[in-house]
């Protein structure tokens, strides 16, 4: 399981992974130069989007979009100066977030097949129910705003590459393992959602 993988890892980049909410709104991604390079989900975009998971300690991580942008390594940042939206640019100044500080440290809970992430404000990162449309992109933005977890704040974490020598990724889960994990979390999703997660 990913929890054992994470505990065995040294601090630093641990894995490249995709993140998908159980609300079935699409992969978590960054759309650069859109609403301060906001984290969002677009159900109409099935392209791969990888995140580098940085281990800070056994309970805290940071997320960085693989490859960054413009030669910069960027980090997901919970912005208390912008209604707690999660972005890779600071609002107003549009400065890129290139270091890990308070706003970029995420508390990780349930670190197995499904994870929950909390910002420094203690609230869960959650996909909005309403889509934002601006310019040539529409997506469901992510906020650190959910006081309780639910499908939109519970994420299927699918690691695809280990970034630490000698540390092997856990095997992909079966549909039954996913259902058991969901049952343990007190969540249920349709068979179609389980199938879509497995096919991601």
pLDDT (0 to 100) of residue 111: 60
- Burial string for 61-75 (b: 16+ CB within 10 Å, else e) reads bbbbbeebeeeebbb
pLDDT (0 to 100) of residue 125: 98
* Arithmetic mean of pLDDT over the chain: 93
Which residue did the predictor score with more confidence, 1 or 82?
82
* Count of C-beta atoms within a 10 Å radius of residue 81: 11
Calpha distance 87→96 (Å, rounded)? 9
Task: Give whole-number Cα distances, 81 to 65, 89, 116, 121, in Å.
Answer: 22, 11, 23, 12
Question: What's the average model confidence in pLDDT over 81-93?
Answer: 97
Which region, left, alpha or beta, applies to residue 188 given φ > 0 means left and ψ of -120 to 50 means alpha?
beta
Q: Give the domains, in start order, of the chain with CATH numbers.
A: 2-171 (2.80.10.50)
**Cβ 68 vs Cβ 54: under 8 Å:** no
In this structure, the strands spanning 85-87 and 132-134 are unpaired
pTM, two decimals, is 0.94
Q: Tell whether the model's pLDDT for residue 188 goes beyond 80.
A: no
Structure tokens at 118: 């909390």
pLDDT tens string 99-127? 999 999 999 987 678 999 999 999 999 99
């Amino acid at each position: 399981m990913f929890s054992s993988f994470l505990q065995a890892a040294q601090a630093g980049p641990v894995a490249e992974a995709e993140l998908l909410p159980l609300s079935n709104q699409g992969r978590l991604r960054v759309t650069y130069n859109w609403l301060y390079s906001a984290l969002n989900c677009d159900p109409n975009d099935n392209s791969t989007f990888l995140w580098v998971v940085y281990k800070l300690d056994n309970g805290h991580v940071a997320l960085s979009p693989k490859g960054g942008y413009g030669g910069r390594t960027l980090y997901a940042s919970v912005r208390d100066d912008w209604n707690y939206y999660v972005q890779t640019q600071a609002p107003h100044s549009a400065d890129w977030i290139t270091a890990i500080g308070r706003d970029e440290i995420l508390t990780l809970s349930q670190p197995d097949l499904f994870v929950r992430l909390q910002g420094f404000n203690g609230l869960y990162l959650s996909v909005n129910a309403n889509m934002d449309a601006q310019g040539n992109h529409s997506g469901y933005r992510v906020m650190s705003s959910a006081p309780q977890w639910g499908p939109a704040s519970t994420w299927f974490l699918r690691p695809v590459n280990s970034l630490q020598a000698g540390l092997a990724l856990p095997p992909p889960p079966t549909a039954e393992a996913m259902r058991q994990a969901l049952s343990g979390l007190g969540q249920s999703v349709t068979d179609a959602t389980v199938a879509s997660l497995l096919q991601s």
